[in-house]
Amino acid sequence: MADLRSPTLIYLKGFLFVVLGMFASGILLAKVGDWQIAVLLGLSIWAFCRAYYFAFYVIQHYVDPGYKFAGLGDFVVYVWSGGCRSRSNV
């Protein structure tokens, strides 16, 4: 499969991810109906988004500029192989 290059289709894909997330979250909250679950769901979504940002943007731009990612599996292999220790300035 070729890389997606159309800006319109890339924005559409991002929009569809947001719609899917809202739909799934809405159904979950409708089934449970508890404000504590809503807060915990929001907190977990925020935390996973920040972890994803850390795994790619922060590592690549602040820790190891030579690191190029291909996905979360690639990041796990990078950390497991000691990539973050072998290239740090500390």
pTM, two decimals, is: 0.65
pLDDT, tens digit (0-9, with 9 covering 90-100), for 43-76: 999 999 999 888 888 888 888 888 877 888 888 8
**CA 48 → CA 3, 23, 44, 86, 87, distances in Å?**
25, 18, 6, 26, 25
Question: In the chain, what are the domain boundaries?
Answer: 50-90
pLDDT of residue 88: 46
- Kindly tell me the sign of the dihedral angle through the C-alpha atoms of 70, 75, 77, 81: positive
Average pLDDT, the chain: 86
